[in-house]
Amino acid sequence: MGGDAEAAGTRRAAHALGPMTTVNDTFTCTADTGADALYRAELGDDTFAGFAATLTGLGLDPADYLYLPVHPWQWWNRLAVTFAADVAEQRLVCLGPGPEEHLAQQSVRTFFNVTHPQRHYVKTALSVLNMGFVRGLSAAYMEATPAINDWLADLIDRDEVLASTGLTILRERAAIGYRNRRFEAATDRYSPYRKMLAALWRESPVPGLEPGRRLATMASLLHVDSAGGSFAAALVAESGLPAPVWLRRYLDAGLLSEEEFWRTVADCAADYAARVPHLADRLARHDLFAPEFAHSCLNRLQLRDNQQMVDLSDPSAALQFAGTLANPIAPYARRA
């Protein structure tokens, strides 16, 4: 298997955080992997063989199926009911929980593999309302995702400006989505019923960590555990430094005064413009140093309709504007 975006056509599907499920639909992946290679790497040979044996025991041919991660809540509260006909027809088969532990990230529906941290993040469809949208995943979008990631990774690798910063991305290397034929016929492409069963695999940052480095988000510094212990306090204690010294080093490494921060942003923008004179007309049309810009009010969208903030078929039409915001880099523009 291979290709820029491999399609496994009408095979079915299974793999998951909780219940494993199997599906009749499309798997796509980046050029450097394939369905069987990904499944064996992510599941391990024993689990992969065990799922195949379960399908065989049901009188089904494992070659007809693909493995798809499903959140337990999604299975029992959405799929087992809404897709009951597909389950009865064995187009979807629940294989039971996988052996590995996954931890939800801040985005709620993306999961880190705690048992094998070097394996991919798994992002699943989760039909819960969050920030004005039901957080499903579109099977149609999943089909194009790996190819887009291949294109973006290649763009970054070949771009001298981006390469000079050391920027890398965590590629979404494979994706799978299930299309229920009945809902496809009865709904438009933005319907949540078309986003109930899909998943993707995103690279873990763990294999790329340099010796002595660990991963943490800035938001995690605010975390307090069930015993009242602070994550930041644990880091301070582990360092052996007095808290004020640790904080000073953190601020020196990652934070600047507001004025210095925006001045630095302005300098970077001006330096970039100087390096790309052939883009002068485009930069003039979208002036980064304009004195102010329109204030788009997301909270007003939430208050108006917390079920769906915007119409996905025409999102700009729903935007609410109120006044303007001062451009923080405008005072530091280098005017000729």
SS3 track for 265-326 = HHHHHHHHHHHCHHHHHHHHHCCCCCCEEEEECHHHHHHHCCCCCCCCCCHHHHCCEEEEEE
Q: What are phi and psi of 80, to 5 degrees?
A: -65, -20
Last residue of a domain, one of 254, 278, 308: 254
Q: What is the pLDDT along the chain (336 residues), one digit of tens a residue?
A: 223 333 333 344 433 455 455 655 678 888 888 888 999 999 999 999 999 999 999 999 988 888 998 998 899 999 999 999 999 989 899 888 888 889 888 888 899 999 999 999 999 999 887 666 778 888 888 989 999 999 999 998 898 877 777 778 899 999 999 988 888 788 887 787 888 899 999 999 999 888 888 888 888 888 999 999 999 999 999 999 998 888 878 777 666 678 888 888 899 889 988 998 998 899 888 888 999 988 888 777 777 776 666 666 667 777 778 889 999 999 998 865
Please list the residues that pair with 35 across neighbouring strands.
none
Same domain, 171 and 51: yes
Residues 23, 156, single domain; the answer is yes
Inside any domain, residue 105: yes
Q: Using the structure block, give the residue that is written with the tokens 């949208």.
A: 133
pLDDT attached to residue 179: 86
DSSP E strand stretches across the chain: 19-23, 26-29, 66-69, 96-97, 102-104, 110-113, 121-124, 129-130, 133-134, 172-177, 198-202, 292-296, 321-326
Residues 138 and 39 in one domain: yes
Exposed / middle / buried, residue 133 (Cβ in 10 Å: 0-12, 13-18, 19+): middle
- Residues 107 and 202 occupy one common structural domain: yes
User: Per the domain annotation, does 261 fall within a domain?
Assistant: no
| Residue 146 resides in a domain | yes
In a shared domain, residues 80 and 179:
yes
Q: In angstroms, rounded to a whole number, what is the distance separating the alpha carbons of residues 106 and 300? A: 24
The SS3 call for residue 102 is: strand
- Identify whether residues 318 and 223 lie together within a single domain: no
Return the pLDDT at 330. 92
> Token digits for 105?
């990230």
**Within this chain, do residues 229 and 188 fall inside the same structural domain, yes or no?**
no
For the entire predicted model, the pTM comes to: 0.71
End-to-end alpha carbon distance in the chain: 57
Burial of residue 330 (CB within 10 Å: 0-12, 13-18, 19+) is middle
pLDDT at 181: 81
Q: Is 9 among the domain residues?
A: no
Residues 30 and 165 in one domain: yes
Shared domain check, 317 and 283: yes
Same domain, 202 and 222: no
How many domains does the structure of the chain reveal? 3
Tell me the residue range of the domain where 297 lies: 267-332
For residue 151 the two structure tokens come to 């294109």
Residue 38 lies in a domain: yes
Residue that has been written with the tokens 């389950």 in this structure: 87
Q: Does residue 202 sit in the same domain as residue 244?
A: no
Q: 29 and 142: one domain? A: yes
C-beta of residue 75 within 8 angstroms of C-beta of residue 20 = no
Q: Which residues lie closer than 8 Å to 264 by C-beta, 6 or more apart?
A: 256
